């Protein structure tokens, strides 16, 4: 496993700064191909689960799901509270789902870094800036928390890279590292219900009791649309053109 992803790759920290999140034609084609491949895999996995060929693994919800107790974690929690209540709760749900999927996949993932990345991954969405990808601002806020708490600079940059890459379609643990992949995986459970069938029984119901959705679907759809308008050549603009917002409306959480 590549534990140190190339920060200049598509979606990485250096790529985000170089491009401000705007995709070249070649990069758009690359992401469209990844989206098609990811959707094929998602449908195949869902079919296996529906036919009983895959059963969710048992994960102890009381082991490893307590928030980290460190100065860095407390700085992150304070920064996360700068977000709207909807985004704050989404960050916590993303962390629980991402952490659960990492356990299901038996994938090594730094708990403290995952917690920080999940809580702050959408921080920059609150204030769209024309021609600047929101993940840059999310990553900067995480870096500020890291500097204040004295986090190792290498870990801080790895976290920033994971935050900027999490909106990139088709990321893989082998190429992009587990941190960005499980931030994305947790967020996708909460946004679309993706991999919901892989979660242990009780994870979702318990999470929703603790961190309710309360109008989140409408809020996040509006924020994604605003980001797509602010960065028309960016990743959220591409996802919107591919039907991501209608896809979110098919998620099972807000139907009742």
How confident is the model over 97-141, as pLDDT tens digits? 999 999 999 999 999 999 999 999 999 999 999 999 999 999 999
Question: What whole-number distance in Å separates Cα of residue 214 and Cα of residue 6?
Answer: 38
Rg (CA), the chain: 17
For residues 227 and 128, the answer to whether their CB atoms sit within 8 Å is yes
Domain that holds residue 226: 13-254
28, 32, 236, 239 from 36: Cα distances, Å:
12, 6, 16, 12
Residues of the chain with pLDDT under 50: 1-2, 256
And the tokens for 69? 């107790």
Question: Is 2 part of any domain?
Answer: no
**Can you tell me whether residue 50 is helix, strand or coil?**
helix
Look at residue 4 and tell me if it is in a domain. no
The answer to whether position 3 is within a domain reads no
| Domain-embedded: residue 8 | no
Domain count, the chain: 1
CA distance 106 to 115: 17
Residue 7 included in any domain? no
Residue 59 lies in a domain: yes
Q: So what's the pLDDT on residue 65?
A: 77
SS3 call for 15: helix
User: What local confidence, expressed as pLDDT, does residue 253 receive?
Assistant: 86
């Amino acid at each position: 496993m590549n534990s140190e992803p190339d920060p200049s790759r598509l979606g990485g920290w250096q790529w985000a700064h170089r491009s401000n999140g705007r995709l070249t034609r070649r990069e758009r084609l690359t992401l469209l191909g990844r989206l098609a491949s990811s959707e094929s895999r998602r449908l195949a996995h869902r079919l296996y689960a529906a036919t009983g060929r895959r059963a969710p693994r048992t994960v102890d919800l009381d082991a490893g799901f307590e928030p980290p107790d460190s100065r860095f974690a407390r700085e992150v929690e304070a920064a996360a509270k700068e977000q709207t209540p909807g985004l704050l709760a989404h960050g916590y749900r993303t962390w629980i789902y991402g952490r659960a999927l990492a356990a299901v996949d038996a994938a090594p993932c730094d708990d403290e870094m995952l917690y920080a990345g999940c809580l702050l991954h959408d921080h920059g969405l609150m204030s769209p800036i024309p021609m600047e990808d929101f993940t840059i601002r999310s990553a900067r806020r995480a870096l500020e928390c890291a500097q204040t708490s004295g986090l190792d600079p290498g870990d801080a940059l790895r976290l920033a890279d994971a935050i900027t890459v999490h909106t990139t379609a088709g990321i893989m643990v082998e190429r992009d590292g587990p941190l960005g992949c499980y931030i994305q995986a947790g967020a996708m459970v909460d946004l679309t219900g993706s991999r919901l069938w892989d979660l242990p029984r009780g994870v979702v119901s318990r999470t929703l009791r603790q961190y309710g959705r309360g109008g989140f679907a409408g809020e996040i759809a509006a924020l994604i649309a605003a980001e797509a308008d602010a960065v028309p050549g960016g990743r959220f603009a591409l996802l919107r053109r591919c039907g991501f917002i209608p896809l979110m409306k098919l998620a099972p959480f807000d139907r009742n």
